[in-house]
Amino acid sequence: MTEDDVRAAARRMYAAFNRRDHAATAEIFTADFYSHPLGKAGPESVAQAWRRFHEAFPEVRVVVEDMIVEGDRASVRTSVHGVTGQLPTMLEIFRVRDGRIAELWGLSSLRRES
């Protein structure tokens, strides 16, 4: 797997999110994918999170501002458009295995309601 493969996996994920293609999570994430921010495993956990986010913010779209790839990992800074308030940013780190995202860490400036 090349760094271009890692970059492509991250870009596929953001493109699917922006298309609201929740079913694509099955092809983008490994079966044993783990999200550290969500504390959940599996592609369906991502699809559920995306559905909730798209319901809360129907106009949301994520724009990749910076991406740094080294080995099997990508660090991505994005801006989140279509949400209320200041323009939120996210920083996510992906570990890619066999062309699919296997693990994710992330921080966001999005305000979360309790």
Domains of the chain: 3-108 (3.10.450.50)
Q: What per-residue confidence (pLDDT) applies to 112? A: 56
CB 15 within 8 A of CB 84: no
**Mean pLDDT, range 61-68, rounded to an integer:** 97
Q: Residue 45: enclosing H or E segment and its boundaries?
A: helix 43-56
CB 28 within 8 A of CB 13: yes
Report residue 111's pLDDT band, with 50, 70 and 90 as the boundaries: low
Which has the higher per-residue pLDDT, 75 or 87?
75
For residues 92 and 90, give the distance between their C-alpha atoms in angstroms, rounded to a whole number.
Answer: 6
- pTM, full prediction: 0.91
pLDDT, tens digit (0-9, with 9 covering 90-100), for 97-108: 999 999 999 998
Q: How far are the Cα atoms of 24, 40, 87, 99 from residue 46, in angstroms, in the given order?
A: 10, 8, 23, 17
**Mean pLDDT, range 45-49, rounded to an integer:** 96
